[in-house]
Amino acid sequence: MDPITYKAMVVEEIEKNKFTRQIRELQVHDLPDNDVLIRVLYSSLNYKDALSATGNRGVTRAYPHTPGIDAAGMVVESRSPSVQKGEKVIVTSYDLGMNTRGGFGQYIRVPADWVVKMPQGLDEKESMIFGTAGFTAGMSVFKLTQTLTPRQGDILVTGATGGVGSMAVAILAHLGYSVMALSGKPDTGFLTRLGAKAVLPRKDFLADTASPILKPRFAGAVDTVGGDILATAVKSVKQDGIVTCCGNVASPDLPLNVYPFILRGVSLLGIDSQHCPMGLRTLIWEKLAREWKFQGLARIYEETDLHGLNGKIDQILKGELKGRTLVNLN
Ligand SMILES: NC(=O)c1ccc[n+]([C@@H]2O[C@H](COP(=O)([O-])OP(=O)(O)OC[C@H]3O[C@@H](n4cnc5c(N)ncnc54)[C@H](OP(=O)(O)O)[C@@H]3O)[C@@H](O)[C@H]2O)c1
């Protein structure tokens, strides 16, 4: 029998620019009229979800809304020949959780071309420990490792205890790279246990960085925060270094000059997981399921249910969380 109701987090605007979050019972038939209905078993919390959950119109235009840019579960109904009932699947990004009801609910209904079949080597839970953060770290690692080998020197990872940062630290260390983890948090054990060779305090990194170009220290960098930190990373990489850029939690601005590019041949590569084409998307998930699946996966997350998610949303906005937050929808 088809499901009729399900539980979901609902973000509502109760007065102008004042938002509440509640767990509500919703009707499956009210989900958008897309081809594939999925019973969500796990989701995860990403920075973008917290923006959606607090009324950021750059992420979500209209409320009431259910955030959650990540979902993994089982297909319950499909009108598409490419997706079969009973298949285990992953859906991340596109418009999920932005303006399409997302993974912070027990059901989603999405277009068939958003659906990734669960790769062998991952289950629903593991895929959501990675989630968009792990996928974005994977895209960053993929771009970096096209050019840089472990022998070329240290790789800097910024926002290192965050979702994307911690995943990048762990994957790079697993692949044999020497990782320098940049963090604003005092506890360094979390990062060294993930494989970081050293932890650089954020305030030291930003001291004395005004020069147009700095001493070359790193072969490359995975930046997750933007602003002065990204600018300093670009100015601090060696000849032909590669820097990836995916986030803006510190700032969307980039106070830079052209010298790192014209004097050292540095490349700054953008990462956009939302519009990643399906071919590369599938390849990244397969790598996460196999050669990038690191041993400490079980140590990088905390699990919560929909009720516990509320507090985690406030924490991620303050940069207080470490690693990943897995959301169990059972
Ligand atoms: N382009 C894409 O496709 C894509 C995909 C996923 C995420 N993102 C973006 O990537 C960024 C990180 O996402 P996330 O999910 O990893 O977020 P997160 O879990 O909140 O991690 C961000 C980390 O950045 C550091 N940080 C926080 N505030 C900071 C500040 N003011 N200055 C410097 N560092 C600060 C903190 O780490 P430390 O305390 O260790 O420094 C924090 O844990 C976000 O901007 C997100 O929107 C982009």
pLDDT in tens, 159-181: 999 999 999 999 999 999 999 99
Provide mean pLDDT across the span 72-87: 97
Residue with CA nearest ligand 1 atom 39: 184
Residue list, ligand 1 pocket, CB within 6 Å: 46-48, 132-133, 136, 159-165, 183-185, 202, 224-225, 229, 246-250, 271-274, 316, 319, 321
Residue that is last in its domain, among 270, 292, 315:
270
**Residue 208: its pLDDT value, please?**
85
What CATH number is given to the structural domain containing 240? 3.40.50.720
Number of domains in the chain: 2
E strands in the chain: 5-15, 18-27, 36-45, 70-78, 88-92, 107-110, 116-117, 155-157, 179-183, 198-201, 218-223, 237-245, 267-270, 301-304, 324-328
Query: What is 47-76 written as a DSSP string?
Result: HHHHHHHTT-TTT--SSSB---SEEEEEEE
Q: What is the pLDDT of residues 231-251, one digit of tens each?
A: 999 999 999 999 999 999 999
Average pLDDT over the chain reads: 96
CA distances to 98, 309, 316, 321 from 50, in Å: 11, 10, 7, 12
Together in a domain, 194 and 167:
yes
Most informative mutation of 47, 243, 251, 325 for ligand 1 (most atoms within 8 A of CB): 47
How close is the Cα of 33 to the center of ligand 1, in Å?
Answer: 33
Quickly count: other Cβ atoms within 10 Å of residue 275's Cβ: 8
What's the CA gap between 76 and 84, in Å, rounded? 9
**Sign of the Cα pseudo-torsion (120, 121, 125, 129, in order):** negative
pLDDT band at residue 187 using 50, 70 and 90 as cut-offs: confident
Measured in angstroms, how far is the CA atom of residue 147 from the centroid of ligand 1?
Answer: 24
Q: Give the nearest ligand 1 atom to 160 CA.
A: 40
Q: Whose CA is nearest to atom 8 of ligand 1?
A: 247
100 and 141 share a domain? no
Q: Over range 222-230, report the average pLDDT.
A: 98
DSSP one-letter code for 77:
E
Contact 41, 131 (CB under 8 A): no
Q: Of 207, 168, 175, whose CA–CA distance to 191 is shortest?
A: 168
Residue located via tokens 């994957």: 171
Q: Which one, of 165, 92, 151, 158, lies nearest residue 124 by Cα?
A: 92
| CA gap 163, 170 in Å, rounded | 11
Q: Does one domain contain both 90 and 142?
A: no
Within-domain flag for 278? no
Pocket of ligand 1, candidates 59, 158, 225: which has the most ligand atoms within 8 Å of its Cβ, to mutate?
225
Cα of 181 to ligand 1 centre, how many Å?
13
Which of 254, 262, 208 has its CA nearest to residue 230?
A: 254
Say how far apart CA 161 and CA 134 lie, in whole Å: 13
209 confidence band (pLDDT: 50, 70, 90): confident
Integer Cα distance of 254 and 184 in angstroms: 19
pLDDT, mean of residues 64-74: 98
Which distant-in-sequence residues (6+ apart) come within 8 Å of 141 by Cβ? 168, 171, 172, 175, 222, 292
For ligand 1, atom 44, the nearest C-alpha belongs to 247
**For residue 53, what are its two tokens?**
């959950």
Q: Determine the atom of ligand 1 nearest the C-alpha atom of 164.
A: 16
Amino acid of residue 142: F
pLDDT digit string (tens) for 115-158? 999 999 999 999 999 999 999 999 999 999 999 999 999 999 99
Segment 300-315 shows an average pLDDT of: 96
In a domain, 254, yes or no: yes
Q: Name the phi and psi angles at 45, rounded to 5.
A: -100, 125
- Let me know if residue 185 belongs to a domain: yes
Secondary structure letter of residue 280 according to DSSP = H
Provide the CATH number for the domain around residue 86. Answer: 3.90.180.10
Claim to verify: residue 140 and residue 253 sit in the same structural domain: yes
Residues 104 and 140 in one domain: no
Q: Residue 2's pLDDT is what?
A: 60
In this structure, the answer to whether residues 114 and 52 fall within a common structural domain is: yes
Cα 160 off chain centre by:
12
> Residues 21-40: what's their mean pLDDT?
97
- Which residue is closest in CA terms to ligand 1's atom 10? 247
Q: Which atom of ligand 1 is nearest to the CA of 132?
A: 6
Q: Which domain holds residue 250?
A: 132-270
Q: Which atom of ligand 1 is nearest to the CA of 321?
A: 43
Do residues 284 and 293 touch, judged by C-beta distance below 8 A?
no
Q: What's the pLDDT score for residue 64?
A: 97
Q: What is the pLDDT of residue 3?
A: 66
